[in-house]
Amino acid sequence: MSAEMKQGAALAQGASRALLEVKDLARDFDVSRPWLNRILEGAPRVLLKAVDGVSFAINRGETLSLVGESGCGKSTIARLVCGLYGPTRGSIVFDGQDMSEIASRSDMLTMRRRFQMIFQDPFASLNPRWRVGKIIAEPIRQHGIIQGEAAIAKRVGELLEDVRLAANDAEKFPHEFSGGQRQRISIARALSSNPEFLVCDEPTSALDVSVQAQILNLMKDLQREHGLTYLFISHNLAVVSHISDRVGVMYLGRIVEIAPTRTLFKRPLHPYTQMLESAIPDITMSGKERTPVAGEVPNPLDPPTGCAFHPRCPHANDRCRSERPELRTVEDAQVACHAVEEGRLVGVA
Amino acid sequence: MSAAVRPLLEVRNLRVEFNTRRGTLVAIDDVSFDIAPGEVLGVVGESGAGKSITGTAIIGLLEPPGRVSGGEILLDGQRIDTLPTEEMRKIRGRQIGAIFQDPLTSLNPLYTVGRQIVETIQTHLPMNAQQARARAVELLEEVGIPAAERRIDHYPHQFSGGMRQRVVIALALCANPRLIIADEPTTALDVSIQAQIIQLLKKLGREHGTAVMLITHDMGVIAETADRVAVMYAGRLAEIGPVQKVIHEPQHPYSVGLMGSIPAIGQEVERLSQIEGSMPRLDAIPQGCAYNPRCPKSFDRCRTERPNLMPAGATRAACWLHADRAGGTNAHRVPAEEHR
């Protein structure tokens, strides 16, 4: 473990246990027509609110997952947290340090090595012209973590063994590996700067189920061995239920429900969560008719008023159509739904 | 399915080869199965197992250097793998419909969906433009597109992913085909849309007696839709049987591994069971049973002699573990599966 990690662990004993705190995070994308068209045609500016006021915290050693359908903003959050996008509004606080207040480049670099990202496509995220050893060593060199070629090579070998590959695989090129092995290489690269926090954006979506099981098991083992904290992004509820401690369900740029995994799957409160769960084809349900699901995710450029889910919600009333619900605590869960709050949903305490 | 019903599709000892500079690769090796009218056969397996190639071979769209080099494919008793291109083209669309994974690439972006459907209908059915258009609207309504009368004149890009996949299904249904080959029809879609498409496929089998070959790697989709399921590994059939049996009492060690590696909601396990290693490359398929290097139960015979499908529990599996019950030989294979 590096000195930083020990220092980080010491800090965690302090007031806040949360390693990452996101408050009222928002990100808009300008998808307007080009400037000239706007002038000539009088077209207005068009803003896509990809993430619209999201707050959550992740404790040290915990796995928080964000789930939702395409376009709900989950990947945008992953990129915001990693600093690949700047937020339009809101704050990201990592280990007590507000990321937007870091002024100097060297402070930023020190911060950067403490979190890393794993991407979805193991074919696109590795440079095909670099040997695996060079790929994995890049963060080590970039951050100057280890000096000397021999020491770096030794560390790369250790990292490869950490992800259950062989040390001499460092000499090979990415195309010599299968999808699952490439994802292991991505993980080894992510671990090379001794991070405390990993953002995993659909790390197993491109993999077959048997390989997915290998990667999920590996991620759990590594979490235990290195005390890692994960932000896990996925659309697959079964994977999420397996790997996470807590789950946040997103719909059109907002979190509609966030709860410990067991609570969320045993007693989903938000009608959208309930719909998602009944929509999952589950092998144990074999033969049963599923609850029919109506409608599609609305156009995010023109989101519905009030609760964004109301056009598809069987419990929507006038209040849902006009007033946007905020997250409210219900036992150990938080849910943004007027119907739950008013006790209109059957079977909800 | 009772044995008395003549299967709609019979695939017998199908072998597909790819000639490459470095020798001949066998992508499909001695695969045999039937599909009865109205039946949904699920085909599962990992990437590269040969699922899609099997489907492509049946609809006669294998691209060179791929070719059917052995076995036969019969549709309603008629051999279709040897038909000339022109005749096969008539069968494709009329008798066999195809649905592919990516709904955007299956549609021509320059034509309205109506024009594409009308053209397909008129190719296969004797209808004038008006009748064909009426039928197209009917089809779009049937696959659940709201305001079909208006939507028919829209271009593919004006539809969402789920709606586009419905259009592709409508296209496949144009001429009331008796068999639909659906290759990963829900993979590109979100779960809530996926559920709707699955409902639609089930309805087709029920109401029209259409047989469906559903190729997917998503076991959940299979569990909900299929009557029987075939598990493929390295171009061969590992196991085939009723969907419930294959999922809950798999007999082939590969099926056991595959089912165990699927995370299930509400089932709290610390580790998923995983299959070590990965599927062999086509140029390095092991001797004997293709699965033997990864198999926790393999023994000497598995490394030398290739097993054929044999009765195993309520299914049929290609695994020597079941040889005792099958008499210790390949004697149980049906005559139609005899090697040439």
Residue pLDDT, tens place only, A224-237: 999 999 999 998 88
Residue A238 confidence (pLDDT): 87
Q: B334 CB near a chain A CB, below 8 Å? A: no
Q: B219 CB near a chain A CB, below 8 Å? A: yes
Q: B163 CB near a chain A CB, below 8 Å? A: yes
Q: What is the mean pLDDT of residues A14-32?
A: 83
Q: B295 CB near a chain A CB, below 8 Å? A: no
DSSP state of A279: H
Residue pLDDT, tens place only, A162-189: 998 999 899 999 998 888 899 999 999 9
Q: Provide the β-strand partners of residue A255.
A: A250
The dihedral region occupied by A79, where left means phi > 0, alpha psi between -120 and 50, and beta the remainder, is alpha
* CB–CB contact B190 A211 (8 Å): no
Question: Residue A129: how many CA atoms within 13 Å on its side-chain side?
Answer: 0
* CB–CB contact B278 A238 (8 Å): no
Residues of chain B positioned with their CB less than 8 A from the CB of A280: 191, 220, 265
Residues of chain B positioned with their CB less than 8 A from the CB of A298: none
Residue A198 confidence (pLDDT): 95
Residue A10 confidence (pLDDT): 44
Residue B328 confidence (pLDDT): 45
Domains of chain A: which residue ranges? Answer: 16-114+196-342
Residue type, B268: E
Q: A13 CB near a chain B CB, below 8 Å? A: no
Low-confidence ranges of chain B (pLDDT < 70): 1-4, 266, 325-340
Q: How many CB pairs under 8 A join A and B?
A: 127
* Whether the Cβ atoms of residue B303 and residue B288 lie closer than 8 Å to each other: yes
Nearest to A69 among B192, B219, B261 (CB): B192
Residue A139 confidence (pLDDT): 92
Residue pLDDT, tens place only, A268-280: 999 999 888 887 7
Residue B283 confidence (pLDDT): 84
Residue pLDDT, tens place only, A64-110: 999 988 888 898 999 999 888 899 999 999 988 888 888 888 888 88
Q: Is the pLDDT of residue A13 over 60?
A: no
Residue A17 confidence (pLDDT): 73
Residues of chain B positioned with their CB less than 8 A from the CB of A314: none
Residue A91, phi then psi, degrees to nearest 5: -130, 150
* CB–CB contact B274 A217 (8 Å): yes
Helix (H, G, I), strand (E, B) or coil at B300: helix
* CB–CB contact B190 A70 (8 Å): yes
Q: Provide the β-strand partners of residue B212.
A: B40, B180
Residue B339 confidence (pLDDT): 38
Residue pLDDT, tens place only, A285-328: 544 555 556 677 787 888 889 999 998 888 889 999 999 999 99
Residue pLDDT, tens place only, B254-264: 999 988 888 87
B positions 45-104 inside 8 Å of A (CB): 46-47
CATH superfamily, with its number, for domain A16-114+196-342: P-loop containing nucleotide triphosphate hydrolases (3.40.50.300)
Contact residues for A152 (Cβ-Cβ < 8 A; gap 6+): A137, A140, A141, A146
Helix (H, G, I), strand (E, B) or coil at A317: coil
Query: Percentage helix, strand, coil, to 5, in chain A?
Result: 40, 20, 40
Residue type, A331: E
Average pLDDT, chain B: 86
Beta strand residue intervals within B3-113, DSSP E? 9-20, 23-35, 40-44, 66-75, 78-79, 96-99
Residue A124's Cβ-count burial label (10 Å; 0-12, 13-18, 19+) is: exposed
Residue A189 confidence (pLDDT): 94
Its ipTM equals 0.74
Q: A32 CB near a chain B CB, below 8 Å? A: no
Token pair recorded at residue A206: 């491109």
* CB–CB contact B272 A293 (8 Å): no
Residue A297 confidence (pLDDT): 76
Q: Which chain A residue shows the shortest CA-CA distance from B193?
A: A296
Residue A343 confidence (pLDDT): 85
Q: How far is B261 from chain A (nearest CA, A)?
A: 5
Q: How far is A7 from chain B (nearest CA, A)?
A: 30
Residue pLDDT, tens place only, A187-202: 999 999 999 999 999 8
